Amino acid sequence: MKKPELLAPAGNLEKLKMALLYGADAVFMAGKSFGLRAFSDNFTEDELKKGVEFAHSLQKKAYVTVNIFPHNEDLPALPDYIRYLSDCHVDAVIVADLGVYRMIRKVAPNLPIHISTQANNTNWSSVLFWQELGVHRVVLARELSLADITVIRDKVTIELEAFIHGAMCISYSGRCLMSNYFTDRDANRGQCAQPCRWKFNLVEEKRPGEYYPVMEDERGTYIFNSKDLCLLPHIPELIDSGLDSFKVEGRMKSVHYAATVIKVYREAIDAYVKDPEHYSVKAEWLEELQKISHRAYTSGFYFNKATQEDQIYGTSSYEQTFDFIGLVKSYDPATKMATIEQRNNLKVGQEIEIMQPGKPNFNQVITEMFDIEDKSISTAPHPQQLFKMRMCQEVVEYAMLRREVQKNA
């Protein structure tokens, strides 16, 4: 059985490291220009080079998005950027526009190219077109069913990638003009303001200033607000479809999100490939995906056309059951003390959970804490404050401390 690549989002260098350490086979990221997530941290050229080097040090891959739909004024700086990516030995660039594709072929002809989901590939003929042009991979449109994907797989030999987890766009494969109209921020040039998540009212043409609520219930309605995609229960079908890469959305999501989602899908994919006959979805995997910030989950278009059940009409807010409160920077096995960077207020007496790459989670109560000068403290209230804490089990660098929201609110 062919094991698919697990591809993780990387909004900055820390998220890149976390995603790879928690089990991703590859990451996708963007520089400060030419990507469709202009409001994530993104990478300076120096950070981008370090990110690629870190991925390669683990024998993993790093892809860079160059998937805006550029206007003329975007083009002069593009050739030098392409050369830089080639010199950094990125494993592929992700492209949506034919003009960008042409420029890459001219400037860096050996640089592998992946075709972005923004290119709207919904049928085998369009995928075959890209295959004949010599691209390495096509990222399929989110609007395809699993049956559609199977047909495409039978018709082409090129690598196929598809989204399996994360936010869904209300517009066809991200081709959206709403942000441009409402805010003058072009979604197709990386500046989406996400107006699909806003609460809307109705205004009649001859009654300006009079707002009529569009009501699903007393909370109003969010008429463009999709649920989040989650295909964890369908790993066998996805692998059997012949997809080469499983993509997780979320370059603007948190470190906690990236680590948790990747760890869950890593375990599920490995478990199915190892023993498909006895594979089953573990309850703890599904519980993990409730701990991160998310909207209610849906299987999207994979098994049926989207209906009103795939939308959220009452709110655009997220839900989660656990808060990310600390990141382990180092651990001394002799003293069993971990040095931790605070990410949320925590104090002595709280029960916490520790998640770390490649190991089971465990719980413990915080019995004592010390500042970096080894003075006893009862709380760590300051953002990114460094402190020490005795652990009941050995932990590794990049282990994460979490606290249940309801018990410790």
**Mean pLDDT, residues 138-165 taken together:** 96
Task: Write down the pTM of the prediction.
Answer: 0.87
Start-end of H helices in 199-337: 235-240, 255-274, 283-291
CA dist 53 and 56 (Å) reads: 5
Class of domain 322-404: mainly beta
**Mean pLDDT, residues 23-48 taken together:** 82
CA dist 28 and 11 (Å) reads: 9
What are the DSSP E strand ranges found in 140-191? 159-166
| Residue 10, token pair as written in the block | 């990387």
Looking at residue 96, what is its pLDDT? Answer: 93
Mean pLDDT score of the chain: 89
Class of domain 5-168+226-301: alpha beta
- Say which residue, 201 or 396, is predicted with more confidence: 396
| Residue 335, token pair as written in the block | 């003293």
Lowest mean per-residue pLDDT among 49-53, 212-216, 262-266, 296-300: 212-216
**Mean pLDDT, residues 54-83 taken together:** 94
CA dist 401 and 344 (Å) reads: 10
Could you give the percent of the chain with pLDDT greater than 90? Answer: 69
Question: SS3 string of 89-152?
Answer: CCCEEEECCHHHHHHHHHHCCCCCEEECHHHCCCCHHHHHHHHHHCCCEEECCCCCCHHHHHHH
- Say which residue, 221 or 383, is predicted with more confidence: 383
In the chain, domain spans: 5-168+226-301, 174-213, 322-404
**Band (195; pLDDT cuts 50, 70, 90):** confident
